[in-house]
Chain A
Amino acid sequence: MVSSLLRRFLASLAVLVIASYLVYLLAAVSGDPLQDLRQSNLPAAQRDALIQQRIAQLNLDVPPALRYFLWAGGVLGFAVGRFTLGANVLGQDVARQIGEAMGQTLQLVTGALFIGLVIGVILGITTALRQYSGYDYSTTFLAFLFFSLPVFVVAVMLKQFAAIGFNDFLADPVISPTVIVVLALLAGVVWMGILGGPLRRRAVVFGAAALVTVAILGYLNLSGWLRNPGFGPVVTTALSLGAAALVTFLSTGWANRRSRWTAMSVAGLGLVLYFPLRALFEQFAIINIFSVLLLIGLFSGAGGLVGYLWGGNDRRPQIRTGGLTGLLVILILLLDRFLASWDIYFGSVANGRPISTVGAATPDLEASFWVTGIDSFTHLLLPTVSLVLISLAGYSRYSRSSLLEVMNQDYIRTARAKGLNERTVVMRHAFRNALIPITTVVALDFGATIGGAIITERVFGWSGMGALFNEALNRVDLNPIMGFFLVTAIAAIAFNFLADVVYSALDPRIRVAA
C-alpha cells in the first residue's frame, strides 16, 4: 500500500515536472513580452532603454529552454527556505499575488459550488423519483438550456433583470396582480409536477400551492415586506417549528416520538433564547465571523445534547435530529437578525439599490457584522446564481442517474419487500449509496475550483485566479503563468488522487491498486 502510494506520488511528480517544462516553453512561444513597449510611442531612445530594462528584469536574453531552470530554481528554493515564484512583469511578487487571488476565487466559487451541489442533488433526486414526468422533462430541458447559454450571456441577463430591474422594482415594491396570478399558476404547476400522484391529488396540490403563493405574495404587498423585511418572533417561531418538522420527517420519520420531541425541544430552546440572543447580537464589538461560527457550533451542539437527553436506547438518530434542528434554528435566528439590519443597509449603504452588479463588497464599507454580511450577500448573489445555473445540469443529471441506478439494486427491492416505507427506502437505503459517486465528483470539482472562474471573474469585476491567469497570458508574463500552473496542477493531481481514495474508502468494493 505504502509503496504503491509512493510510486503514484513519484509518477505524479514526474508528470508535474515534465508538464511544467512543456507549459513554460508553450507560454514562452505564445507571444512577445515586449509587445506593449514596442507599441508605445515613446521616443526611440526611451523605448529602447525600457526594452533593455525588461529584458534584464525577466532574463529574456536567456532562451526559454534554459530560462525554465531559473524559474525551477526558485521553486526548488523551498528546500533551503528561499522559495520564490519570481516576480511578474510589474515586479510584483507572484507567490503573494497568487495568495491574494486564491482568496478572492475561493470566496467567489465556494458558495456557488456548495449551493449548486445541494440544489443539483435535490433536483436530481426529485426528478429521479418522478422519472419521465412532465416535471422531469421540464427540469431536464431547463438544465440543458442554462448549460447551453454562455456564462457571460447569463451574467448580462442576470444583471439586467435580477439587479437593475429588481432594484428599480424595489423603489416601489408592489407586485402587480397579473404577476401574482402568473406566479401562482407557475407555483401550482411546479408543485403538482414534483409531488405528482393521481389526478385528484394533483388538483389539490395545484390549488393549494397556487393559493399559498397568492397569500404570501399578497402579504408581501400589503405589509411592505420587500422594502422592510424581517421575521419578528412570530414568523421566527413558525419557521423554527417548520424546520423541526422537516428535519424530523427526513431524519427519522414523523412517527418517531422521541425524535419529534427532540426537534420540538430544540425549536423551543431557540425561542426561549430569542430575546437574549437578540441582545447579544447587538454587541458589535464581539460579533464577528468567528464568534458567530462559534455560536452556530454551540447551538448545534446544544441541539445534539438535547437529542442525547431524549435519546432513550437508540441515541444516534436523536442526536442527529437535534443537531440538525439546532443548526437550522440558529440559522433562522441569525437570518432574522440580518434582516433587521436590512433597512439601514438599504438606505445608507446601498442608496436604495441593494443588489450589486460588480465587485465583492461596497468599497470602504465600515459597518457592523450584520451590515457587512448583507453587503457580501448582495455582491455575491449574482455571480453565485450564474455559477449555480450553469452547474445545475451537471449535478442534477448525475445524481438522478446515480439514484436511479441504486433504486434498481437488489437491496432496495429487499428493503421494499420487508415493508419499509418509501421514505426510509429512499432516504436511508438509496440516497446514501447514490451519494457515493457524487462525492468523488465533488472532490474533483473542488480541485478544479482553485483555477478560478475566469469569465465570471471578469464580468463581475473580481480579480481571482482566473483573472490573474488571463492577464498574465495577455502580457506573455511567464512567472504568473507558471505560478498559476503550479498551483492548479498540484490541486488537480492531489484532488484526483483524493477522489480515488475517497471513492475506495466509501465503496468497499473498490480497492486501491497502483
Chain B
Amino acid sequence: MKIKRRSVVAAAVAATALALSGCAAGSGSEVQSGTTVNVAQNSAFTSMNTLTALNYATYNSNVSYMFQGVGFNYYNADKELVKNTKFGTYKKLSDDPLTVKYTINDGIKWTDGTPVSADDMILSWGSSISKYNNPKSGVNFGSIQAGGGTDFITEYPKVSSDNRSITVKYDQPYVDWEILPTVTPNISAAALWEITGIDKKTGTDAAKAVSAAFKKNDTATLTKLGKVWKSGFDITSTPKDKRILESYGPCKVTTLTKQYVTLTANDAYNAGPKPKVAKITFRFIPDQTAQVQALQNGDVSVLYGQATADTVAALKGLKNVKSITSPSASFEHVDLSFDQGVFSPSSYGGDAAKALKVRQAFFKVVPRQEMLDRLIKPLNPDAKLDDSSLFLPGQDGYDKAVANNGSSEYQKVDVAAAKQLLADAGVSTPITVRFAYANDNPRRQGEFQLIQASAKAAGFDVVDVGKPAAEFFGANGVGSGKYSYDATVFAYVLSSGSVTSSEANTTTDNAYNYQKYSNPAVDALWKKAKVVTNIKDAIPFQQQIDSYLWKDASTLTLFQLPDVSAWASNVQNVSYAPYVPNIFWNFWEWEVAK
C-alpha cells in the first residue's frame, strides 16, 4: 500500500514536470552578443540633454559625443579644429556685423526618421540665450549656455526656404563663435514638441511648431517647452518613451541602468565617421583602483582619468594593456594677491615697484623644476614646465609667447637673486607668506611643502592657510574675498582653445580675477582680442597679455596636470586628445581585434 502511494507521488511529480515541459515553446540559443567596448567612467549618465545646467558634466558629454556626433566641427588630437562637412557646413558671411550661415546636409535624420533641420538649430539657439533662461519667472530652459557667447545673437535667425540653413547675426564681434556649440542641434525639436504634448502634431510639423513658438515669442508655449527641455530628457533607466532617446549621431542609447549605459551603432548614420564596433558601454565605477583592476581583469577595456603615480605605475605593469600619460588642458599655477598682504602695493604704502620686487623675489624661489620632477615626472617622464599663462605648450602661439614673456627668469630657483631683489626693495626678512591651497589634495600639499622648504632660504616664511577643497572653493573660499592669503595654488582649465576663456581671470574687477590683479594695458588688449572674428588674429594680443602677466609677476604657471588613459591592447586605434572629449575624440576608429 505504502509503496503504491509513493509511486503515485513520483508519478505525479514526473507528470507535472512533463506537463511543464510540454508548455514550452521550444528552446532558443543561450547567448547573443557582438563586439563591445566597455569603458570605465566614474559617474552615471544622467540626461540625453547634456546642455542643461544640471547635467552639463564630463560624464554626460562623453556619452553625448557618441550619440550626437561631432556636429559641424571637432578638435583632433593635434588641437586642430576639423570641419565635418558630412554633417553640414558653416560660412562667415560678414565680419561686421558678424554673420554666419549654418547649413545641414540633406538626408541627415533623427533616429525616428524626421530630418534634422533648421527648426532644431533654432531650438539650440533659443534654448541657450539669456532671454529664455530666466530662473525667476517665465521661460526657463535652464541651459548651461545662458549668459555665454550665444547671447550676442538676439535677433531671430533667418531660416532658408528649404528649412536646412539658418543665418545668425551677432550684435557685436565675438572671437570664439566657431567653437561654441551655438546652433548645433542637440535635442530633436519634434520630440520636444511631442513629449510636451501641446497638440497632436508629430514629426516635421511638430518641429516647425517649435521654431514658430520662438519666432512669435509665444511665452506660454515656450514656458512649457522650456520645462520639458530642462528636465524631460533626464533619465536614470531606459525610458519607456523612446522619443526621449531621439538622436542623430553615430550611436544611439539603447540601455541605461544604475551601473552602465549602452550605446549601439546607428546603422543609418550618414553625418560623419561611423563607428566600427557594434556597442560601446560605459560602466560606472567611482573608484580608480577598482577601475584599474577592472581593466586588468577584462571587465572594462578603456579607462581615462586624472593620473596619480600609482595608477600610472600599476597600468604600466599590466600585460596586454596600453597606457599613456598626457598633459591635459588644465594647468597648475601660483597666484599672488594684489589686494592684501605682503605682495600687494598697499602693504608698502602704495609703492607698486617695491611690491613687484617682493613678488619677483618670491617667484625666484618657487622650485618649479623640482615640483615638476617630483610630482609630475613620475607620472609622465616627458612632462615639461608650462611657461605661458594663456597658451598650452604645443598650441599655436605658445612658442613665440614663451620666447618673449620673460618666463626664462623663473626656470631655476635663484636664492641669491631673490635676496638681492628683497634687499633692493628694502624689505626686512623674514616675510610671512600665507599660502592657500586645497589641502586635501596630496599633490597640492606636496607643492605647498616644496615651496615652503625652498622659499625659506630667501627669507620667506611660508605658512599654511590651506583648507579642504570643499571650503577652498566654497562660499568663503578663494574667490569670495573673505579668505585671507598672500599666495595660492590651483588649476585652470583652458576650454577648447577658446580665446576668451582666460579673460575673466586677468581683467580688472572681474569676479574670476581672484587675486585682484589689475593692469589697464591688459584690459585694453583683451578688448581688442575679443572682437576679432578669427581665433588666429587674437594670438598676438594674447601674447602681449601673457608678457604683462609675467612682467607683473602676478601668476606663475607650473605645469599641465597629466591625464592617464589606458586600454586593453585588443582595442585598437585609441588615442588621446588634450581637449574634451579627450580619449573619445576618435571613438569611431576604435576596433576590437579578435
Q: Which residues of A contact B (CB under 8 A)?
A: 31-32, 34-35, 38-39, 41-50, 52-56, 89-92, 96-97, 100-101, 104, 155-156, 159-160, 163-164, 167, 265, 269, 272-273, 276-277, 279-280, 282-286, 291, 298-299, 302, 305-306, 309-310, 341, 344-345, 348-349, 351, 353, 355-361, 363-368, 370-371, 458-463, 467
Are A164's CB and B10's CB within 8 A? no
**Do B299 and A272 touch (CB < 8 A)?**
no
- Assess whether A463 is in contact with B44, with CB atoms less than 8 Å apart: yes
A359 touches B260 (CB 8 A): yes
Q: Which of A349, A359, A368 contacts B299 (CB 8 A)?
A: A359
Please state if A363 and B38 are interface contacts (CB–CB under 8 Å): yes
Q: Name B296-340 residues within 8 Å CB distance of A.
A: 296-300
The reply to whether the CB of B14 lies closer than 8 angstroms to some CB of chain A is yes
Question: Is B284 an interface residue, CB under 8 A from the partner?
Answer: yes
Known: A44-B504, A159-B293. A364 touches B281 (CB 8 A): yes
Is B161 positioned at the interface, with any CB of A under 8 Å from its CB?
no
Query: Which chain B residues numbered 11 to 55 have a C-beta less than 8 Å away from chain A?
Result: 13-14, 16-18, 20-21, 23-28, 30-33, 36, 38, 44, 46-47, 53-55
Contacts of A370 in B (CB 8 A): 30
Contacts of B151 in A (CB 8 A): 45
Let me know if B255 is at the binding interface, CB within 8 A.
yes
Residues of B within 8 A of A279 (CB): 21
Contacts A357-B299, A459-B287 given; indicate if A364 touches B135 (C-beta within 8 A).
Answer: no
Kindly list the 6 A-B residue pairs having the minimum CB-CB distance in the complex, ordered from nearest. Answer: A283-B24, A46-B147, A45-B147, A39-B473, A461-B285, A53-B135
Contact between A286 and B24, CB atoms less than 8 A apart: yes
Q: State the Cβ distance, A248 to closest chain B Cβ, in Å.
A: 17
Secondary structure call for the B interface: mixed
The one of A34, A302, A363, A461 that contacts B262, using a Cβ cutoff of 8 Å: A363
The answer on a CB contact under 8 Å between B470 and A32 is yes
Query: Do residues B512 and A41 form an inter-chain contact, with CB atoms below 8 A?
Result: yes
| A302 and B32 contact, CB distance less than 8 A | no
Considering only CB atoms, which chain A residue lies closest to B5 in the complex?
A: A309
Do the beta carbons of B293 and A357 come within 8 Å of each other? yes
B17: chain A residues within 8 A (beta carbon): 273, 276-277, 280
Contact across chains for A96 and B236 when beta carbons are under 8 A apart = yes
Could you show 7 A-B contacts with beta carbons less than 8 Å apart?
Answer: A42-B148, A100-B258, A156-B293, A164-B296, A284-B27, A284-B28, A461-B290
- What is the predominant secondary structure among interface residues of chain A facing chain B? helix
A442 to B260, CA, bound (A): 33
Contact B13 A298 (CB under 8 A): yes
- Note all chain A residues with C-beta closer than 8 A to B231: 91
Q: State A89–B57 Cα separation when bound (angstroms).
A: 13
Q: Chain B residues near A299: list those with CB within 8 A.
A: 13
Nearest CB of chain B from residue A299's CB, rounded to whole Å: 7
Out of B24, B28, B54, B294, which one reaches A357, CB within 8 Å?
B294
**Once bound together, how far apart are the Cα atoms of A488 and B562, in whole Å?**
41
Scoring B residues 276 to 297 as 1 if CB is less than 8 Å from chain A, else 0, what string do you get?
0001010111110110011011
Partner of A46, one of B144, B258, B299, B493: B144
Q: Is B420 an interface residue (CB 8 A)?
A: no
* B77 interface hit (Cβ, 8 Å): no
Residue B234 CB within 8 A of the other chain: yes
The stretch of B379-387, B474-482, B575-583 in contact with A is B474-482
Q: Is the CB of B293 within 8 A of A91?
A: no
A227-B512 Cα distance, complex, nearest whole Å:
61
Question: In the complex the two chains form, what is the Cα distance from A351 to B53 in whole Å?
Answer: 40
Known: A90-B55, A90-B234, A359-B283. 7 other contacts (CB 8 A): A35-B475, A46-B148, A54-B53, A56-B135, A167-B298, A363-B38, A459-B290
